[in-house]
Chains A and B, each alone.
Chain A
Amino acid sequence: MATLPSNSICNLRQIRKPSSEVARPLKMKLLIANRGEIALRIIRTCRKLGVRTVQAYSDPDRDSLPLRYADERYALGGATPSESYLSVEKLVRAALDTGCDAVHPGYGFLAEDSSFVQACEENGLNFIGPSSAALEKLGNKLSAKRTMQEAGVPIIPADGPVKDADDAADVAEKIGYPVILKAVYGGGGRGMRIAKTSDEARRFFRLTKLESLSAFGRGDVYVEKRLISPRHVEIQAVCDKHGKVVSLGERECSIQRRHQKLLEEAPSVAVNEKLRQQLIDAAKKGLSAAGYTNAGTVEFLLDKTGEFYFLEVNKRLQVEHLVTEMTTGIDIVEEQITIASTSSLGISQNEVQVEGWAINCRINAEDARSFAPSPGTVIHYHPPTGPGVRVDSALFSGYTIPEYYDSLVAKLATWGRDRSEAIQRMKVALDEIEIIGVPTTIPLHRLLMRDEGFVAGDFDTTYLNGVLPRMNANLLTLEKFAAVAASTSRIRNPPTTIEHRNGGTLRWRMAAMAEQVRERVGW
């Protein structure tokens, strides 16, 4: 890893092409069709560029941070996602009512929903993302695979959609166990099941179909070869409307639980210069074949032998985009807006230079062992800062995390001249961050930063499963620390009732209460 001059230690380095030099001025008014940290992230770039923003919000988000920084606010009404951030009709009306000419969908919710993109296009709204035509080509997992295969990108052997349980077992037999049954229209790590026997293939076909029907509205299932302990590596790209595709390098996202990423970094220890070029070439070919525009990510699985296979395209700004921003100094949201408003990219490939190393820890409001989400009020929040530290979060002291949405409450990212410096900074930042009121994934990240395998870069997508049992021992250790702090707090701040082990409390409490009453009524 190249060493850098010390003045490059900042959170997001100088944008190579300042916004004032962008070809055309941005006369845009943007509806933010999302919430939380990503809404705030988008608003920040808009304010920098002078783009006016309207924040759409649901009832529970009335007091949320993005509303304070947007130029205007628009109440969607309702609390559940389907009443608010998933309502195509309400969001389009919000944009039109407030005179917006563009919509940024963030990630999740309607970010990859072709009916929403179509509704925007039909109403003359500039959707900050791919066109509905490109979305269609990559619309579901099977059609995306087909598009990639035709473009010459290696894909994991798969077949489907399968008709029924027997068909699923037959196809699985042909492909060879273990296989993974996937919902064709699935996403976000849901609608996937691993089968090791024909019995499981039959059983899981039904389960996956049902799960897919309820979650995605369609029950199509296909069967894919299950790679043993692969790594998850992805290429971030930005594509303009003239067929130019610029790669911003790879990200490593193998630290996952239940197919959901928990920690991401850029670059990847598993990718050498030769492999990097192969991945970038494959990603560019695939995106070009799909006629893709705007920011997109091509995900690959990397097996032990160094072979790679296309996994899927994320057709949106991603949660983990910030690590790429930290290693390239490029504001990806700005590129998205520039592409949407001018058709062209603000950067060219030879301007992109990956420097140093960045790591992102997803801080979720959930139990670190069970991953059970835990909404609640954050009575105190203190984010870490300092050289090479970036926190993307919409938290503040007193904020109540609603039960209706994602459990991600903060993205804590650090940059270092090399991976070990990024890890050291992360250790420090994890010690500094204070989130009081809800359990979070912080103890798991603390454990990872001290974990031999993680520090050595020796891990794959199954790695976290091996770390989790150690979380129990770790939490027992933390419990002892808690016992220490509780005991010393008790010494300095004794309880306000007198307690006796033989039960002498009552008389004293009564006497004290009588005393208080006397004082109050002036006896």
Chain B
Amino acid sequence: MRTYRVQINGREYTTSVDQKGDGTFQVTVDGEVFESEPLTKGNISTWRVRSAEDSINAQTRVLPTDKVDVWLAGTPFQASVQAIGAGGYTIPTQGIGRSHLSGDICAPMPGRITSILVKEGESVDVGTPLLILEAMKMQNEIVSPVAGKVKSILIEEGVVIKKEAVLVIVK
């Protein structure tokens, strides 16, 4: 589960997001349960958002900052979305976030994090399994290339990441 602080029109919402097995998300907004189903991907992506009473298609565009443009029911919103908890990191993506600093363990392929095998602060050796990355139905063990302490874990179990996203920092 991931938790976000979302600001829209000066109001603040806390959202808890759970990715379900079928690719949809269950999202709780200040106690109210919604479902969000991805319909199309792209620069502008489409989501079907359902509550107990209503069902609305929303279009979103993720901006390079923490901003997300949302359009639904003919109404534009701009949301600022910040992750809370779990180290407070959001996942870097291929591109700007890419890093080859020693001890930055990056994803060798795109996939889904099945399990995390270490904790922050734990000591690891070269070859210690850090996490399991599932890609194309294969479970891939990602091992530490360096010895040191796990400084940060930038991902969570269940999260889908892009190739070369930084996963764990070992120092």
Measuring CB to CB, which residues of chain A are less than 8 angstroms from any residue of chain B?
Answer: 363, 368, 379-380, 430-431, 433-443, 446, 475-502, 508-509, 511-513, 515-516
Contact = CB atoms under 8 A, between A and B. Distances in A.
B92 A483 contact: no
Given A481-B49, A501-B88, A490 B76 contact: no
A26 to B, nearest CB: 39
Contact of A485 (B2, B32, B60): B60
B23 to A, nearest CB: 10
> Which of A431, A487, A501 counts the most chain B CB atoms within 10 A?
A487
Give the secondary structure class of A's interface.
helix
A483 B29 contact: yes
A478 B79 CA distance: 12
Contacts of B100: 515
B101 A511 contact: yes
Nearest to B166: A498
B144 interface: no
B78 to A, nearest CB: 9
Contacts of A439: 74-76
A492 B90 CA distance: 11
> Which of A363, A435, A513 counts the most chain B CB atoms within 10 A?
A435
Contacts, number: 197
A496 B60 contact: no
> Which of A363, A437, A477, A479 counts the most chain B CB atoms within 10 A?
A479
Contacts of B34: 480-481, 484
A496 B68 contact: no
Interface string B6-42: 1011010101010100000101011010101010010
17 contacts: A431-B56, A434-B59, A440-B74, A443-B73, A478-B72, A480-B29, A481-B73, A484-B29, A486-B6, A486-B81, A489-B45, A489-B47, A490-B81, A495-B64, A496-B93, A496-B96, A509-B96
Contact of B38 (A483, A488, A498, A500): A488
B102 interface: no
Given A433-B74, A479-B9, A491-B19, A516 B96 contact: yes
A51 to B, nearest CB: 35
Nearest to A501: B88
B99 interface: yes
A322 to B, nearest CB: 20
Nearest to A367: B75
Nearest first, the 5 closest Cβ-Cβ pairs linking A and B are A442-B74, A501-B88, A486-B79, A440-B74, A485-B58
B61 to A, nearest CB: 8
A379 B71 CA distance: 11
B66 A487 contact: no
